[in-house]
Amino acid sequence: MPSSSKLRAIIEQTVAGFDASALRDDQLFREAGIDSLDHLNVLLAVEEQFGVEIPDEDSKNLNTLNALLAYLAAR
């Protein structure tokens, strides 16, 4: 199961200049300054890293670390 720290590392690698250590687990990505394009790129990186496919209809609900962790744990 992926960890919060692993997802934070993916976010930092994907979103230029973003410090994921300040991101709360329940904070919306957009509130933290992650725009929709960066959000999509994060999800693509997560798919590649963990070998999962995230359908478009699911991706719009994966807008916090907690939501993303729960989704991946269920896969």
Which residues of the chain have a pLDDT value below 70?
none
Phi-psi region of 33 (alpha: psi -120 to 50; beta: other; left: phi over 0): left
Count how many domains the chain has: 1
Dihedral (C-alpha) 20, 24, 25, 30: value to the nearest 10 degrees? -70
Q: How far apart are CA 37 and CA 14, in angstroms?
A: 11
Q: What is the pLDDT of residues 15-34, one digit of tens each?
A: 999 999 999 999 999 999 99
40: domain CATH number is 1.10.1200.10
The pLDDT value recorded for residue 2 is 87
Against a cut of 0.85, is the pTM above it? yes
Q: Are 15 and 22 within 8 A, CB to CB? A: no
Structure tokens at 25: 């687990």
The pLDDT value recorded for residue 27 is 97
Say how many Å lie between the first and final Cα of the chain, rounded: 9
